[in-house]
């Protein structure tokens, strides 16, 4: 297991159990206590966990997103399953929006052999994935390129989205809370996501289970705007139950 993936799984483990000791984590991930201590020091510096005497607890706040390279390997198997399920919800003949992200990229991979679909995206990787798909028309939103994440964003992106109407929007998010809805730590990325949501009849959020129940600074949309949440089958009932109670259809894969 790569160090980056282990650290991500540590956060996920602590999020599910709320607290954990160093010895528990060392046994869980089959590494020495010293390795866990180094991991926890780095995670605390990023604001993801809070160390205690002999252990760690979770910080429910998401203050920033990891780099694209880090996110691409985190929860990879889960993201692949989520992408496959999300693709199964797309009907031939539909116009859809696919948000930028590492989970939504796996959705695009499963659309390559589909027919008569129009995909609007602000993600270069998604457009490249679909470039040779004969049955898929790809529309790039344009805008300011964020090279580190292969994403277009900004005023031009928002202008294009205001002119569109689609059946479904597949939205990626670093945070989704059953009370506060979709949230994001970066203010400049919020308007584009809001534009995607406003342009679609149905909102489907694709998010691995580490994103559930967290909080962040900026509100993207209330939970009432979300129709469907696709997440990992490992999510506990305590994590997904409140979303169902809020009227969201939850699909576990």
Please write the tens of the pLDDT for every residue from 69-99: 677 667 789 999 999 999 999 999 999 999 9
What pLDDT sits at residue 8? 81
Domain match, 37 and 87 both: no
Of 27-31, 47-51, 223-227, give the lowest mean pLDDT range: 47-51
Domain match, 83 and 23 both: no
Statement: residue 22 has pLDDT above 90? yes
Q: Which of 189, 246, 245, 179 is nearest to 214 (CA)?
A: 179
Statement: residue 109 has pLDDT above 90? yes
Domain match, 11 and 103 both: no
What pLDDT sits at residue 235? 84
What pLDDT sits at residue 68? 66
What pLDDT sits at residue 72? 67
Statement: residue 61 has pLDDT above 90? no
Mean pLDDT of the chain: 91
Q: Is residue 49 very low, low, confident or very high in pLDDT (cuts 50, 70, 90)?
A: confident
| 125-134: average pLDDT | 97
**HSE-CB of 127 using CA atoms within 13 angstroms:** 14
What pLDDT sits at residue 91? 97
What is the tally of structural domains in the chain? 2
Domain match, 147 and 27 both: no
Statement: residue 17 has pLDDT above 80? no
Instruction: Read off the CATH number of the domain in which 118 is found.
Output: 3.40.50.1360
Domain match, 16 and 52 both: yes
* Residue 232 in domain: yes
Can you tell me the distance from the alpha carbon of 107 to that of 90, in angstroms, rounded to the nearest whole number? 10
Instruction: Read off the CATH number of the domain in which 11 is found.
Output: 1.10.10.10
Domain match, 144 and 231 both: yes
Can you tell me the distance from the alpha carbon of 187 to that of 147, in angstroms, rounded to the nearest whole number? 18
Boundaries of domain holding 88 = 75-252
Domain match, 49 and 81 both: no
Q: Is residue 105 very low, low, confident or very high in pLDDT (cuts 50, 70, 90)?
A: very high
Report how far apart, in Å, the C-alpha atoms of 173 and of each of 89, 94, 117 are: 19, 23, 24
What pLDDT sits at residue 208? 92
Summarised one tens digit per residue, pLDDT across range 156-180 is: 999 999 999 999 999 999 999 999 9
What pLDDT sits at residue 5? 85
* Residue 84 in domain: yes
* pTM for the structure as a whole: 0.79
Statement: residue 59 has pLDDT above 70? no
What pLDDT sits at residue 63? 66
Domain match, 156 and 238 both: yes
* Residue 63 in domain: no
Statement: residue 62 has pLDDT above 90? no
Can you tell me the distance from the alpha carbon of 245 to that of 223, in angstroms, rounded to the nearest whole number? 11
What pLDDT sits at residue 53? 79
Can you tell me the distance from the alpha carbon of 252 to that of 241, in angstroms, rounded to the nearest whole number? 12
What pLDDT sits at residue 14? 83
Domain match, 22 and 83 both: no
* Residue 64 in domain: no
CB atoms within 10 A of CB 167: 15
Domain match, 142 and 108 both: yes
Domain match, 130 and 234 both: yes
* Residue 65 in domain: no
Q: Percent of the chain at pLDDT above 70?
A: 95
């Amino acid at each position: 297991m790569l160090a980056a993936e282990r650290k991500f799984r540590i956060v996920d483990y602590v999020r599910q159990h709320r607290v954990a000791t160093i010895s528990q984590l060392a046994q869980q991930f089959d590494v020495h206590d010293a390795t866990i201590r180094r991991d926890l020091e780095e995670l605390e510096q990023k604001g993801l966990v809070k160390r205690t005497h002999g252990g760690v607890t979770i910080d429910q706040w998401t203050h920033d997103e990891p780099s694209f390279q880090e996110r691409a390997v985190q929860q990879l198997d889960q993201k692949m399953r989520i992408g496959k399920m999300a693709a199964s919800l797309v009907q031939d003949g539909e116009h859809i929006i696919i948000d930028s992200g590492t989970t939504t990229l796996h959705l695009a991979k499963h659309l390559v052999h589909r027919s008569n679909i129009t995909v609007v995206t602000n993600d270069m990787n998604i457009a490249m994935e679909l470039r040779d798909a004969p049955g898929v028309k790809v529309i790039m939103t344009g805008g300011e390129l964020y090279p580190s994440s292969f994403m277009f964003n900004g005023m031009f992106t928002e202008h294009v989205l205001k002119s569109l109407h689609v059946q479904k929007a597949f939205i990626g998010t670093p945070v989704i809370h059953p009370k506060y809805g979709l949230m994001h730590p970066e203010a400049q990325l919020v308007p584009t996501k809001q534009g995607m949501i406003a342009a679609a009849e149905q909102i489907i959020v694709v998010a691995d289970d580490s994103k559930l129940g967290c909080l962040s600074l900026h509100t993207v949309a209330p939970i009432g705007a979300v129709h469907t949440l696709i997440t990992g089958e490992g999510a506990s009932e305590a994590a997904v139950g409140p979303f169902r109670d809020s009227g969201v259809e939850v699909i576990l894969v």
